[in-house]
Amino acid sequence: MAFVAPTAEQLGLYLGMMEIDGPRADLLIEQAVALCETVVKPLPNQATAVVLSAAGRAYVNPQQVSYETIGPMSVQRPSGSGGLYLTRADKAALKSAAGRGGAFTVDPTPATADPSPTYPVDDGYGPPLEYEPGWGWV
Separation of alpha carbons 121 and 138, rounded Å: 21
> Model confidence over 30-46: pLDDT tens digits?
999 999 999 988 898 88
> Model confidence over 59-110: pLDDT tens digits?
887 766 666 778 888 777 666 556 688 889 989 888 888 887 667 788 898 8
State the average pLDDT for the chain.
82
Where along the chain do its domains lie? 8-65+79-97
The residues, ordered by sequence, that sit 6+ positions from 119 with a Cβ below 8 Å of its Cβ are none
The residue among 123, 122, 100, 108 whose CA lies nearest residue 42 is 100
The residue among 32, 78, 34 whose CA lies nearest residue 53 is 32
Separation of alpha carbons 57 and 63, rounded Å: 10
